């Protein structure tokens, strides 16, 4: 659709004459030109829906979710990887070449391909971390303003998500920078040079990749129902942190994310500390981890990665 903007004006007349709802479905891999054309020609006539790659619940229902967490993170969730015999490494290579390095780079008018490739790899290496535009600019070799523009376009393309920090203080000095999350773990793995699941076992970014995967699953749960994101995170300048806060109508549910298959007492300290600070504003805390069991422990609901339920 984004390559045929005149179609919107044509559809306006057809839609106004027919008066039928849901007759047309318009899809596109990027929203830059499409959103502008829709608001000009089809304002009040359309509903916008952001669709990320498959949710884990969809893969479970279709019995195609990989058995291991490492394979799940490595494979990612893009639909072509589940409806045709294609290797993830080959598919992601083509996707990056034909979409990120062609369409997105042309939109940004980036002439130096090697520079943009370096930027993409650096972004993947920062998934699950606070977004620092200046550091990215220094390592990429471009200006601070250029990095801001590039990051914004990646977010508009649903390649990344900037998770905002929660604004309420809870008597602590809070960080103001958002967290950067690559929305598909398989794409992040490809950009990081992880070309088989076994490489993830002891990889230093395994925990960050899992955190971004869980955040993405929560975003899918809302966006698949056409709901805006109700997600933030909390971190104070002393290093205390909760990976995810879900706004449940004024009360906040804290979610801790641990990639390990086993948990120690320290795994619960962040949730317990935040719940004590938040008091009555806190919903029942949850901990999503890389193991297989569901249980209550220390007053916290422990949830397996395979059955992460973003709506409970």
- Which pairing describes strands 160-163 and 179-182: parallel, antiparallel, or unpaired? antiparallel
Distance, CA of 54 to CA of 65 (rounded, Å): 10
Alpha helices in 96-205, H assignment, sequence order: 105-108, 113-125, 133-140, 144-156, 185-191
- Write the CA distances from 7 to 16, 31, 156, integer angstroms: 14, 15, 22
Q: What is the pLDDT of residues 24-40, one digit of tens each?
A: 777 766 565 555 555 55
pTM of this prediction?
0.89
Distance, CA of 221 to CA of 217 (rounded, Å): 6
Q: What is the pLDDT of residues 197-220, one digit of tens each?
A: 999 999 999 999 999 999 999 999
pLDDT tier at 310, thresholds 50, 70, 90: very low
Does residue 59 surpass a pLDDT of 90? yes
Query: At 183, phi and psi to the nearest 5?
Result: -75, -25
Tokens representing 164?
């905002």
10 versus 299: the higher-pLDDT residue is: 299
Question: Given this model, what pLDDT does residue 171 score?
Answer: 62
Distance, CA of 308 to CA of 291 (rounded, Å): 11
pLDDT tier at 193, thresholds 50, 70, 90: very high
Task: Express as a percent the part of the chain with pLDDT over 90.
Answer: 60
Does residue 268 surpass a pLDDT of 90? yes
- The rounded mean pLDDT for the chain is 87
Q: Is the Cβ–Cβ distance between 2 and 26 less than 8 Å?
A: no
237 versus 191: the higher-pLDDT residue is: 191
84 versus 108: the higher-pLDDT residue is: 84
Cβ neighbours of residue 312 under 8 Å, at least 6 residues apart? none
DSSP tag of 104: I
């Amino acid at each position: 659709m984004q390559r045929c903007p005149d179609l919107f004006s044509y559809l306006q007349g057809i839609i106004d004459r027919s008066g039928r709802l849901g007759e047309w479905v318009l899809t596109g891999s990027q929203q830059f030109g499409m959103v502008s054309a829709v608001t000009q020609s089809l304002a009040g006539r359309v509903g916008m829906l952001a669709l990320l790659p498959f949710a884990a619940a969809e893969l479970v229902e279709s019995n195609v979710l990989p058995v291991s967490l490492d394979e799940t993170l490595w494979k990612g969730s893009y639909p072509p990887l589940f409806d045709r015999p294609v290797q993830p490494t080959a598919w992601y290579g083509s996707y990056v070449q034909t979409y990120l390095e062609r369409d997105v780079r042309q939109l940004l008018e980036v002439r130096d391909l090697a520079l943009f490739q370096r930027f993409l790899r650096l972004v993947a290496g920062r998934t699950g971390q606070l977004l620092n535009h200046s550091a990215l600019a220094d390592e990429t070799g471009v200006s601070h303003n250029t990095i801001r523009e590039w990051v914004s376009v990646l977010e508009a393309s649903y390649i990344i998500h900037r998770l905002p920090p929660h604004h309420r203080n809870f008597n602590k000095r809070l960080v103001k920078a958002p967290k950067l999350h690559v929305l598909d773990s398989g794409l992040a793995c490809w950009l990081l040079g992880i070309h088989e699941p076994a490489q993830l076992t002891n990889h230093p970014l395994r925990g960050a990749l899992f955190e971004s995967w869980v955040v993405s699953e929560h975003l899918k749960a809302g966006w698949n129902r056409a709901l805006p994101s109700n997600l933030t995170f909390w971190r104070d300048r002393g290093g205390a942190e909760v990976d995810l806060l879900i706004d449940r109508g004024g009360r906040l549910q804290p979610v801790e994310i641990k990639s390990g298959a086993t948990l120690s007492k320290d795994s619960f300290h962040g949730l317990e500390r935040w719940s004590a600070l938040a008091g009555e504003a806190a919903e029942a805390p949850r901990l999503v981890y890389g193991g297989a069991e569901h249980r209550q422990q220390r007053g916290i609901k422990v949830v397996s990665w395979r059955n992460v339920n973003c709506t409970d």
